[in-house]
A and B are shown apart, each in its own frame.
Chain A
Amino acid sequence: MKGILRTKIPQALDALSSGAQVLAPMKINGVSRFACWGQQGELVLGASNTLIPPKDAVFGQTEKMYKYQMGQEAVTIEEIPQDGPQLVVFGIRPCDVRSIQALDQVFLTKGFVDQIYKTKRDRSVLVALGCSQPQQTCFCSSMGINPLDADGADVMMWESGDTYSLEARTDKGKDLLAKLEPFLTDVNNSSPPSPKFSLEFSMEGVTEKLQKMFEHSIWDKWYRKCLGCGICTYVCPTCHCFDIQEKNIKDGQGYKFRCWDSCMFPEYSLMAGGHNPRDSKKPRIRNRFLHKLRYFPERYGMLLCTGCGRCLRECPVNMDITRFIREVREVTLDV
């Protein structure tokens, strides 16, 4: 089996950067995120996943869509191209690979293909890093994810002592490893230790049970402490809601862009005229949890939670979706 010495990784990423945009988990100004390799910052391939998920590699926090110029007679509209070099996402965790599979469902299926997403997704190569040391807030295994083997990765990578072993899973992955050949050495095919989770629970029957719990009193308890800050949606690797806005520059000239939005904000569903179908925290919290655990499975056949644990870690009032799920499992419904 091929592998790479930890100390060779920076050189390897330098080499890849000559023909591609390489995104790697970096700590910059105290915040860990997938950032362009070459920036000032520290590469973080340790046990902990990044604070900011890598979804913005394929679904940017802000994406310019088209320019417009309003004239007296006509408006001209010019699409902003989204093409670019290959996008290597290096060190993405299995939970976050799963989140990209969920985004694929949203942006590439059900009648319309989102061209901005597709252009970036087609350019992407996912080099996944298996997790052998789950954090306190990790629960991917409960969400049906194998932390050591990412379904959907182009290359799979495992840490073992001072080396990382590498295995190509797709043609894109093979091409990438071919480019890395000068940095690779032969390593022992030692299987990584089986990870131990402190958060583990069963999801069996949860979606089906929630189908009968829209009016249940559980929501009265769960919405109360929410501050509506939206951090759960911001750090969520699967949250894909976006807003579309215009930036006027001058004289009727400007551009339209889309940017991440949050279902935790009142404006999200506020209609012109003032009606808001989700006009308080209770329906908003309910919609968020049901979207993750019931609506998305109904529509796309998969959960919209990957067990990455970011919302648990970052919520200022300790809203904990795992505790919610365990409470749902304990609910007895009247038949």
Chain B
Amino acid sequence: MCNGDCGNPLVPIPGKLIKIIEETPDVKTFHITTDQGKPFTPMPGQLGMLSIPDVGEGMFSITSQGQEHLEISIKRVGVLTDALHEAEPGQPVGIRGPYGNGFPIDKFKGRDILFIGGGIGLAPVRSLIGYCMENREDFGKIEILYGARSPEDLVFQEDLFQNWPKAKDTTVYVTVDKGNDEWKGNVGFVPAYLEQINPSPKITLLCGPPIMIKFVLQSLAKMGFQEDDIVTTLEMRMKCGIGKCGRCNIGSKFVCLDGPVFTLTEMKDLPPEY
């Protein structure tokens, strides 16, 4: 039997889902552990390959971790994510990783930071926000801007409305594309709200749907943000996670190995094929 030390990096460690949190109608956060405790200890921005072995396997950003478990937030979009959304706590799973480069933490240290997330894109962003909160003295002021389609689609609401606003030197801005009767916050797209807030140029972590990224980048450029200070993550289909199976290449880079984190400067060196 393999307990994760069998040497073949493609073989997962047996684990199980110990807690499932319903974030929105189509996003759930899964807590994963193994008999040996936490499967591995990822750095913020790194990835994990999660499987229900008889259904499929997929690569996900790890949004948070505890002493004994990993947390992965997953939007329901396909066969594996359907099965995960239908699973109950106790569901056996396979997990392998960590994969990818993670966020360049040293680049963020000692500086004021702007975090921008759209939809499920807050999941990877949250891993670095969590790291900053745990090592608060290593980082400057924090601004967090998050947008979702509607109030019902806002993920990590406890963090957005309670934990983060209470943290030292931290400001949180939340917007929705379309409000409802109870929504008292901002209504509008992320790029417009960003220009309204008009933050001074600083190091920025940006994750979200491609259309949001495209317009946020235009806004950031307008406001004088440096390309090398804009950090984002890219997605491609992945199978192996270790740079062998081929499909996640963008030019000569493999997103699973050389990414998923790239600065805008690095992205501009890649063919626009993502």
Contacts of A107 in B (CB 8 A): 244
Residues of A within 8 A of B210 (CB): 275
CB-CB under 8 A from A287, the residues of chain B are 249, 273
Taking the closest CB of chain A, its distance from the CB of B192, in whole angstroms, is 24
* Contact A78–B1 (Cβ < 8 Å): yes
CA A114 to CA B239, docked complex, whole Å: 14
Q: How far is the CB of A101 from chain B (nearest CB, A)?
A: 16
* Contact A114 B247, beta carbon cutoff 8 Å: no
Chain B: which residue is nearest A214 at the CB level?
Answer: B271
A144 within 8 A of B: no
Q: Is the CB of A114 within 8 A of B242?
A: yes
Q: Residue A242 contacts which of B2, B90, B235, B244 (CB distance < 8 angstroms)?
A: B244
By beta carbon, the residue of chain B nearest A283 is B273
What CA separation (Å) do A153 and B93 show in the bound complex? 43
A contact face: mostly helix, strand, loop, or mixed:
mixed
The number of residues on chain B lying at the interface, defined by a beta carbon within 8 Å of a beta carbon of chain A, is: 50
User: In chain A, what residue has the closest Cβ to B3?
Assistant: A77
Find out whether the CB atom of B53 lies under 8 angstroms from the CB atom of A278. Answer: no
In the assembled complex, the Cα of A263 lies from the Cα of B244 at a distance in Å of: 13
Complex: A79 Cα to B58 Cα, angstroms = 19
| Complex: A70 Cα to B92 Cα, angstroms | 7
Shortest A113–chain B CB gap in Å is 8
Question: Closest B-chain residue to A278, C-beta based?
Answer: B273
Q: Judge whether B8 and A115 touch: CB under 8 Å.
A: yes
Task: Decide: B54 and A68 in contact? CB cutoff 8 A.
Answer: yes
Contact among A75, A243, A261 with B92 in the assembled complex (CB-CB below 8 Å): A75
* Alpha-carbon distance A66/B236, docked complex (angstroms): 25
Complex interface: chain A residues within 8 A of B54 (CB): 68, 70, 246, 248, 252, 254
A residues less than 8 Å from B18 (CB atoms): none
Return the chain B residue nearest A262 by Cβ: B246
Is A296 an interface residue when CB atoms closer than 8 A count as contact?
A: yes
Q: Does B56 contact A (CB under 8 A)?
A: yes
Asked if B130 CB lies within 8 Å of chain A CBs, one says: no
Distance A75 CA – B75 CA, assembled complex (angstroms): 24
Q: Which residues of A contact B1 (CB under 8 A)?
A: 76-78
Q: Mark B51-84, 1 if CB is under 8 A from A, else 0.
A: 0111111100000000000000001011111000
CB contact under 8 A between A65 and B53, given known A77-B94, A277-B273: no
- B16 at interface, CB cutoff 8 A: yes
Q: Which residues of B contact A214 (CB under 8 A)?
A: 271
Chain A interface residue bracket vs B: 35 or more
Instruction: Give the docked Cα–Cα distance between A292 and B55 (Å).
Output: 33
* A329 contacts partner chain B, Cβ-Cβ < 8 Å: no
Is A270 at the interface (CB under 8 A from chain B)?
yes
Closest to A271 in B: B237
A268 contacts chain B at the CB level, 8 A cutoff = yes
**Distance from B244 Cβ to chain A, minimum over Cβ atoms (Å):** 5
Q: B residues 78-127 with Cβ under 8 Å of A?
A: 78-81, 90, 92-94
Check if A240 sits within 8 Å of B246, measured CB to CB. yes
Q: Which residue on B lies nearest to A255, using beta carbons?
A: B53
- One of A79, A240, A295 near B244 (C-beta < 8 A): A240
Q: Does A2 contact B (CB under 8 A)?
A: no
Cα distance A76–B11 when bound, in Å?
Answer: 11
68-98 of chain A: CB within 8 A of chain B: 68, 70-79
Contacting pair A271 B92 (CB below 8 A): no
Contact with B along A182-207 (1 / 0, CB 8 A): 00000000000000000000000000
Kindly list chain A residues whose C-beta atoms are within 8 Å of the C-beta of B252: 294-296, 298-299
Chain B residues with Cβ below 8 Å from A263 are 246-247
In whole Å, how far is B37's beta carbon from the nearest beta carbon of chain A? 15
Q: List 6 A-B contacts (CB under 8 A).
A: A73-B92, A75-B94, A79-B8, A110-B257, A115-B7, A254-B53
Interface contacts beyond A111-B257, A112-B9: sample of 18 additional A-B pairs, CB < 8 Å, sorted by A: A68-B94, A73-B92, A75-B94, A77-B11, A79-B8, A111-B243, A113-B9, A114-B242, A114-B244, A115-B9, A214-B271, A261-B246, A270-B237, A272-B79, A272-B80, A273-B75, A273-B77, A295-B252
Q: Taking beta carbons and an 8 Å cutoff, which residues of B are in contact with A?
A: 1-2, 6-14, 16, 35, 52-58, 75, 77-81, 90, 92-94, 210, 235-237, 239-240, 242-247, 249-252, 257, 271, 273-274
Chain A residues at the B interface, C-beta cutoff of 8 Å: 65-66, 68, 70-79, 106-107, 110-116, 214, 240-244, 246, 248, 252, 254, 256, 258, 261, 263, 268-273, 275, 277-278, 283, 287, 290-291, 294-296, 298-299
